Structure 1
Amino acid sequence: MNITQIMTPSNRLLTTTADASLASLREIFAKANFQHVPVIDGTNRLVGIVSVKDYFRELSPIMDSATDPAIGLFMRSRKVHHVMVSPVITITPQHSIKQAAVLLLEHNISCLPVSTDEKHLLGIISWKDIMRAALTKTAATS
Structure 2
Amino acid sequence: MSIVQIMTHRSKLVTTLADANLASLREVFAKARFQHVPVVEQTNRLVGIVSVKDYFRELSPVMDSASDPSIAVFMRSRKVHQVMITPVITLSENSTVKQAAALLLQHNISCLPVVDEHRHLLGLVSWKDILRAALGKSATGA
Q: In structure 2, what is the equivalent of residue 134 of structure 1?
A: 134
| CA deviation map 1:9-53 (0-9, x unaligned) | 000000000000000011111232210000000100000000000
Q: In structure 1, what is the equivalent of residue 27 of structure 2?
A: 27
Unaligned runs of 5+ in 1: none
User: What pairs with 1:56-135 in structure 2 (closer than 5 Å)?
Assistant: 56-135=56-135
| CA deviation map 1:82-122 (0-9, x unaligned) | 10001100001101110000000000000000000210000
User: What pairs with 1:36-51 in structure 2 (closer than 5 Å)?
Assistant: 36-51=36-51
- What number of residue pairs does the alignment pair up? 139
Work out the CA distance in 2 between the residues paired with 1:64 and 1:36: 24
Unaligned runs of 5+ in 2: none
SS in 2 for 1:24: helix
Cα RMSD (Å): 1.3
Work out the CA distance in 1 between the residues paired with 2:94 and 2:132: 20
Question: In the alignment, residue 54 of structure 2 is paired with which amino acid?
Answer: D
TM-score (norm 2): 0.94
